[in-house]
Amino acid sequence: MTRLFYCNTNYNAKPPVDINPLILQRYRSAHILVLCARDGMVKRIAKMTSEDSYPYPHQHVLAYGWWEAEEMGLVVNGQIDSKELLSYEVIVIIGKDRVPPKLSYLVDQVEQIIRCSSFHQTK
């Protein structure tokens, strides 16, 4: 079952922390899709997960901006591809309140797909 989490960047930390470390620790062997509202978030996560000191070598973290959703194959004909989305064990949305208005419908679609998939798996 795909899990959905929301995070906000902690700019008080040095360097800023985008993903709650407890999520990364709990799902240390998972395929995680991180959908970010800002380019800086994507770059920080990519840098963090590619460092040799990253503590979870079996974890696969992909970070993308909402504006890249079509390029990455998550959006087909203006709609979220539910099969692609549900192939990840964990979805993390960072900065939900900062997603550009013209892309906010994608956030709604992601939430709806996860909600529906969770409902069908618990029946």
pLDDT tens-digit series, residues 14-23: 888 999 999 9
Q: Measure the CA–CA gap between 77 and 23, rounded to whole angstroms.
A: 31
Per-residue pLDDT averaged across 30-38, rounded?
Answer: 96
Q: Which two tokens stand for residue 96?
A: 């939900």
Peptide linkage before 57 cis (omega within 30 of 0): no
Token pair 């963090």 is found at 48
pLDDT at 26 exceeding the cut of 90: yes
State how far the Cα of 3 lies from the Cα of 13, in Å rounded to an integer: 26
At 16 the pLDDT is: 87
Contacts of 96 (CB under 8 A, 6+ apart): 6, 37, 107
120 pLDDT band, cuts 50/70/90, is low
Residue 71, C-beta contacts closer than 8 angstroms, at least 6 positions apart: none
Residue 122 has pLDDT above 70, yes or no: no
Strand partners, 62: 33
Tens-digit pLDDT profile for residues 43-98: 999 999 999 999 999 999 999 999 999 999 999 999 999 999 999 999 999 999 99
Kindly report whether the global pTM for this prediction surpasses the value 0.75.
yes
Written as one letter, the residue type at 11 is Y
